[in-house]
Amino acid sequence: MKKIILVLNHVQAGMGSDEHANLAPSGKKAALGPGQTLTPYLKEQEAEIIATLYCGDHYYLEHQEEVAKKFIGFAKKFQADAVICGPAMHYANFGEMAGSLTKYFIQYGIPAIAAMSIENPATQMYQQEIPIVKMPKKGGIGLNDSFKNMALLAAEKAKGNDTKALEERICF
């Protein structure tokens, strides 16, 4: 089984809404929030979420390097094969967090992907630098397909496979 780490903001991790946007980084050795939906799709790909890392997206935006170092350290300590940042959907602050963290992980040699909608400003900002799985704005039509695609791409990256053709099909 390939080991996947999921990175979420405070809302997606179930830690409250905007009143918790300054939540310090933390994590649980479990699949939280959207990780529950991803679990069966990852299992089909012989992969599993070994932990969910999260923090408030405002906290992240004010402490990017600190959070990135903690999350990268955790991923290395637990020998993660790949990281999924998101799904950020159309939420701008979470999109910025997911995009920049994906970039950090890749720079440190850890395969990583993000997932967000075209409406997210971070999609335009990062789509030339990192793989961003396409997803609908807020749920709705295509959401299950985007979760399947996130699982497939993360698992392929975890296995060290060439994902160029796959990314052309499912990413921005």
pTM of the model: 0.97
Question: At a CB cut-off of 8 Å and minimum separation 6, what does 112 contact?
Answer: 82, 83, 84, 85, 101, 102, 105, 106, 130, 157
Choose the CATH number for 2-170 among 3.40.50.1100, 3.30.342.10, 3.40.50.2300, 3.10.290.10: 3.40.50.2300
Q: Please state the domain extents for the chain.
A: 2-170
Digit-by-digit pLDDT tens for the chain (172 residues) are 999 999 999 999 999 998 999 999 999 999 999 999 999 999 999 999 999 999 999 999 999 999 999 999 999 999 999 999 999 999 999 999 999 999 999 999 999 999 999 999 999 999 999 999 999 987 678 999 999 999 999 999 999 999 999 999 999 9
Interior angle at CA 69, CA 150 and CA 90, nearest 5: 40
